[in-house]
Amino acid sequence: MKMKSVGTLVKHPIAFVLIVLILIFALLLSSKAANAANMPTIKQILEVVDGNTLKVSTIEDDTFIVRLKGVDAPELGQEFGQESLNYLKKLVADKNILVEYSGKDRWGNRLVYVTTKNGKSINEMMIKEGFGWVDRFFVSQENLMELQKVAQTKNSGLWVKDEPMAPWVYDRIQIRENSEGR
């Protein structure tokens, strides 16, 4: 098969753009795989910190914090914060869970998908049962948005309230109150 020269591709801008996009996509996939491969293997969950955060240990006995990708749960000082924490504790109590790394968020937190041995997504269950919001930085995850709509329609969990306060709003209020010296 004869390769086309770059000059020929430039004459066909659509082909050129498609090739560039394919190369970028391939680089992103290999980068994600490399990051996941560099992450240590989780041995056990040591603690449920809140409704979307876990403290874990590795087979090398290191400990660190991971966050459920796509889930933003109420803060502990916030209404439904304790209920969200308790529900996540219940979901991860079964020791047969799998943790899959999915990169880092904009703050450098390690993001994970957590599934039960039989393949049920704990991230999805937190949203579906109304113990968290879809993280606003991951709203492109249509399946999570649909699960949140289901929870809202059924008035599940925090959606028993007409307009529960989102954690990012709660955080801003706390920052403002603390900066005003209250």
Q: Is residue 67 part of a domain?
A: yes
Same domain, 88 and 76: yes
Q: What pLDDT does 99 receive?
A: 87
Could you list the residue range(s) of the whole structural domain that residue 148 is in?
Answer: 42-171
- Can you give the pLDDT at residue 126? 97
Looking at the 3D structure of the chain, how many domains does it have? Answer: 2
- Domain membership of residue 98 (yes or no) is yes
Tokens 């966050």 -> residue: 67
The verdict on 101 and 27 lying in the same domain is no
In a domain, 177, yes or no: no
- Per-residue confidence (pLDDT) for residue 40, from 0 to 100: 72
Contact status, residue 45 vs residue 92, Cβ threshold 8 Å: yes
Residues 120 and 90 placed together within one structural domain of the fold: yes
Whole-Å CA distances, 69 to 9, 19, 59, 109: 39, 31, 22, 10
What is the pLDDT at residue 32? 47
Question: pLDDT averaged over consecutive 10-residue blocks of the chain (182 residues)?
Answer: 54 65 58 53 87 91 91 94 96 84 86 90 96 82 90 96 90 85 57
